C-alpha cells in the first residue's frame, strides 16, 4: 500500500443478500488529489463510502484510510476525516449556533473563523433552527461543520444533491478553496458531471458494483472517442472490436463510441470500408453516458412507409 495514498482498498466486497453491492474493489486515492467517484444510482458508491468510514462491515477484503484499518477506525482517525452525507441530516431541534457549539467541543482543532465564514457565505442566521432551514441552507451548515475542524481528508457523498445553483456554486468554491493546502484530499461521489469536469483530478467509475475506470480525468476523455462512419449503402454489421461501447446505426452511417481508442481500433474500423470516417468530439457527459449506458447497438432506421395509393 502506497504511503502516498490516503485511501487504499484491497478486494473490498460487500454483499446484501446474495448479490454483491461492491465487488472486489481495489482503489487507491493519492494524497492531495481531488478524486471523483462516479457511477449510476445503485452501483455501490454510497456502500463503498460507508465501508471506508467504518459505518458498514465489509463482507470480504480490507482497506485503509489515512493508514488506519477501516474495520477499526480509532477516534484520532475520525478527527482527521470530514464526512458530508448526501442528506445533510442534522438534529432538527438544534439551532445553527448550537450545532456549531456541539461540534466544536469534540474537535481539538476547531477553526471558528472557517465555520463563521461558511455560515455567513450561505447566509444563515445563528438562531435559526435546523428544521426551518431549506435544503441548501442545511447543506451549508453541514459544510461548515465539516470544514471547521480542518480535516485532512474530506469525504463527500453526493454533496450537490438537491442544491439550488447558488448553494451549488458555493459548494464547489469551498472545494477549490480546500485545495490551497497540498496535503488535503477530497474524495467525493457525484452525478454532476459539470462539477467533476471543473474540480476532479482523478475519476473512478463503478459499473454495477465493479470498478471499471480509475484514471486521471484527461485520460478518460482521451480514451473514450466517438467516430462517425459514412457508407454509400446500408452500413455493414458491426464486428466485435475490443473496447467497443456503443454503436448507433442510422441511414447510411454508423456512429461508434469506443474505449481505448488506438491504432488497432482505427484499423479495425477502416476495415469496414466506410466512404468517410471522421472523429466526432465528445464532451465529458456524452463520454460518461456512452461508457455507462446500455452496451450494444441502437438503431434509428425508420420502418418502411406504406406504399401510397
> Closer to another protein at the Cβ: 32 or 116?
32
Q: HEC profile for 292-307?
A: HCCCEEEECCCCCCCC
> Closer to another protein at the Cβ: 164 or 173?
173
The CA distance from 40 to 143, in Å, is: 24
Binding residue for another protein, selected from 12, 52, 90, 139, defined by CB under 8 A: 90
The reply on whether position 114 binds another protein by CB under 8 A is no
H-type alpha helices, 60-148: 75-80, 96-104, 112-121, 135-147
Residues 246-285 that bind another protein (CB under 8 A): 259-260, 281-285
CB 211 within 8 Å of CB 20: no
The reply on whether position 291 binds another protein by CB under 8 A is yes
Find the distance separating the first CA and the last CA of the chain, reported in whole Å: 75
**Which residues have a Cβ under 8 Å from the Cβ of 47 and sit 6 or more positions away?**
14, 21, 22, 56
Dig out the grid coordinates for 219 from the structure.
485520460
The reply on whether position 95 binds another protein by CB under 8 A is no
The reply on whether position 28 binds another protein by CB under 8 A is yes
CB of residue 213 to another protein, shortest distance in Å? 5
CB of residue 229 to another protein, shortest distance in Å? 17
Residue 49's φ and ψ, nearest 5 degrees, are: -60, -40
Binding residue for another protein, selected from 7, 8, 47, 83, defined by CB under 8 A: 83
Helix (H, G, I), strand (E, B) or coil at 121: helix
Residues 162-181 that bind another protein (CB under 8 A): 169, 172-173, 176-177, 179-180
The reply on whether position 55 binds another protein by CB under 8 A is yes
> Closer to another protein at the Cβ: 102 or 234?
102
Helices (H) and strands (E) in the chain, counts: 10, 16
CB of residue 267 to another protein, shortest distance in Å? 17
Q: What is the dihedral of CA 115, 103, 46, 71, to 10 degrees?
A: 130
Residues 122-141 that bind another protein (CB under 8 A): none
Q: Is 25 left (phi over 0), alpha (psi -120 to 50) or beta?
A: beta
The reply on whether position 113 binds another protein by CB under 8 A is no
Residues 186-225 that bind another protein (CB under 8 A): 193-194, 197-202, 209-210, 212-216, 218-221, 223-224
Q: Which stretch binds another protein (CB under 8 A): 18-26, 118-126, 159-167, 298-306?
A: 18-26
Per rule CB under 8 A, count of chain residues that contact another protein:
86
Within 10 angstroms of residue 233's Cβ, the number of other Cβ atoms is 7
The reply on whether position 79 binds another protein by CB under 8 A is yes
Residues 29-48 that bind another protein (CB under 8 A): 30-34
> Closer to another protein at the Cβ: 245 or 269?
245
Binding residue for another protein, selected from 1, 11, 298, 300, defined by CB under 8 A: 11
Amino acid at each position: 500500500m502506497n504511503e502516498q495514498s490516503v485511501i487504499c482498498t484491497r478486494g473490498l466486497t460487500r454483499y446484501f443478500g446474495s448479490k454483491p453491492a461492491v465487488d472486489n474493489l481495489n482503489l487507491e486515492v493519492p494524497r492531495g488529489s481531488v478524486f471523483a467517484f462516479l457511477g449510476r444510482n445503485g452501483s455501490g458508491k454510497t456502500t463503498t463510502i460507508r465501508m471506508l468510514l467504518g459505518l458498514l462491515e465489509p463482507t470480504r477484503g480490507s482497506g485503509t484510510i489515512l493508514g488506519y484499518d477501516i474495520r477499526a477506525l480509532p477516534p484520532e482517525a475520525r478527527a482527521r476525516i470530514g464526512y458530508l452525507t448526501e442528506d445533510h441530516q442534522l438534529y432538527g431541534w438544534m439551532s445553527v449556533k448550537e450545532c456549531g457549539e456541539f461540534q466544536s467541543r469534540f474537535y481539538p482543532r476547531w477553526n471558528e473563523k472557517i465555520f463563521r465564514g461558511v455560515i455567513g457565505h450561505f447566509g444563515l442566521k445563528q438562531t435559526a433552527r435546523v428544521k426551518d432551514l431549506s435544503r441548501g441552507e442545511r447543506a451549508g451548515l453541514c459544510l461548515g461543520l465539516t470544514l471547521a475542524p480542518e480535516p485532512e481528508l474530506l469525504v463527500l457523498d453526493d454533496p450537490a444533491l438537491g442544491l439550488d445553483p447558488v448553494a451549488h456554486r458555493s459548494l464547489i468554491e469551498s472545494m477549490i478553496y480546500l485545495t490551497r493546502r497540498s496535503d488535503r484530499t477530497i474524495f467525493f461521489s457525484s452525478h454532476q458531471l459539470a462539477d467533476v469536469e471543473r474540480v476532479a483530478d482523478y475519476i473512478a467509475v463503478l459499473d454495477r458494483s465493479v470498478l471499471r475506470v480509475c484514471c486521471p480525468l484527461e485520460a478518460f476523455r482521451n480514451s473514450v472517442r466517438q467516430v462517425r462512419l459514412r457508407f454509400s449503402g446500408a452500413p455493414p454489421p458491426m464486428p466485435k472490436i475490443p473496447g467497443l461501447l456503443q454503436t448507433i446505426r442510422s441511414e447510411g452511417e454508423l456512429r461508434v463510441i469506443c474505449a481505448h481508442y488506438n491504432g488497432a481500433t482505427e484499423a479495425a474500423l477502416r476495415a469496414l470500408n466506410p466512404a468517410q470516417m471522421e472523429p466526432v468530439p465528445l464532451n465529458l457527459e456524452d463520454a460518461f453516458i456512452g461508457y455507462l449506458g446500455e452496451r450494444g447497438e441502437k438503431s434509428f432506421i425508420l420502418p418502411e412507409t406504406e406504399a401510397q395509393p
